[in-house]
């Protein structure tokens, strides 16, 4: 049986999907986002859990899920890089009618429709909305995300959208307008249940230092939360009022 490479398991997550969640953090990621605060998750390590292992751990929390409309969230790293393992776990969990959320940047290894059969909610991490900006910020090729979004739209999946607001990159009117256009062009609007702006923070900076990695954003300071909220309110005006 295939083994998954798991970095950590959070038993009582409250922000990664509805209700109380068991959050499974998988290792491995193609992207190298300049604002990433989990560089320890970039490299996929040796498999340390079978699908059955994860199933048994998650099943213990099922009573909490039922009382709070919770479930399990697969995060990372990028969980879609461990598609075979993810698929097997999801099949087991869905037999128990457990709500499954997938926190992803949409950059995996394919077989998305098969995996999405068992996923109730996609938490989609928007990195940037232009090919050039995406490449500069993540080192990746933006065209990869569209295969995933196409599959999710085809299967009518519900979305929560997350956008990290990095000072000097996303904190301007032009970006907000383009983000609104990007979402309306690439995701079925009626399936977007929630949009969140997350203020950039430097909490991962010490990890880079401990790992001997240069911190890509240098001396950039945390995004002001009040300013981030103002940007969110302005974005929602644009998003809701555009034709």
Q: Which run of H or E residues covers position 103?
A: strand 99-104
Helix (H, G, I), strand (E, B) or coil at 30: coil
With residues binned 3-state (H G I as helix, E B as strand, rest as coil), the percentages for the chain, rounded to 5, are: 40, 20, 40
Q: Report how far apart, in Å, the C-alpha atoms of 81 and of each of 5, 24, 74, 119 are.
A: 10, 14, 12, 16
pLDDT on residue 243: 55
Residue 202's Cβ-count burial label (10 Å; 0-12, 13-18, 19+) is middle
Reading across the β-sheet that carries 121-126, which strands appear in turn? 6-13, 21-26, 71-75, 99-104, 121-126, 158-165, 192-199
Residues of the chain with pLDDT below 70 are: 242-243
Alpha-carbon distance of 8 to 220, in angstroms, equals 28
Residue range 128-155, pLDDT digits in tens: 999 999 999 999 999 999 999 999 999 9
Each residue's pLDDT tens digit, 30-49: 999 999 988 999 999 999 99
Contact between residue 64 and residue 92 where contact means Cβ atoms under 8 Å apart: no
Would you call 219 exposed, middle or buried from its count of C-beta atoms within 10 A (0-12, 13-18, 19+)? exposed
DSSP bridge partners of 26: 6
Q: What is the pLDDT of residue 107?
A: 97
Dump the DSSP string for 206-229.
HHHHHHT---TTTTPPPPPHHHHH
Q: What pLDDT is recorded for position 140? A: 97
């Amino acid at each position: 049986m295939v083994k998954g490479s798991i970095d950590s398991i959070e038993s009582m997550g409250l922000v990664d999907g509805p209700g109380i969640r068991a959050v499974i953090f998988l290792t491995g990621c193609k992207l190298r986002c300049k604002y990433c605060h989990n560089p320890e998750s970039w490299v996929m390590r040796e498999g340390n859990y079978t699908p059955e292992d994860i199933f048994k751990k998650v099943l213990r929390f099922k009573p909490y899920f039922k009382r709070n409309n919770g479930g399990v969230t697969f995060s990372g790293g990028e969980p879609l890089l461990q598609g075979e393992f993810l698929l097997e776990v999801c099949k087991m969990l869905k037999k128990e009618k457990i709500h499954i959320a997938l926190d992803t940047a949409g950059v995996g290894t394919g077989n998305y429709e098969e995996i999405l059969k068992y996923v109730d909610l996609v938490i989609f991490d928007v990195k940037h909305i232009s090919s050039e900006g995406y490449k500069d910020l993540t080192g990746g090729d933006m065209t990869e995300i569209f295969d995933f979004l196409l599959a999710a739209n085809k299967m009518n999946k519900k979305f929560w959208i997350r956008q990290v607001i990095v000072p000097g990159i996303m904190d301007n009117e032009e970006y907000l307008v383009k983000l609104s256009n990007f979402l309306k062009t690439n995701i079925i609007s009626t399936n977007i249940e929630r949009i969140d702006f997350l203020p950039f923070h430097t909490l991962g900076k010490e990890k880079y230092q401990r790992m001997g990695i240069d911190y890509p954003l240098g001396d950039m300071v945390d995004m002001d939360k009040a300013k981030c909220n103002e940007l969110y309110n302005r974005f929602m005006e644009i998003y809701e009022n555009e034709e």
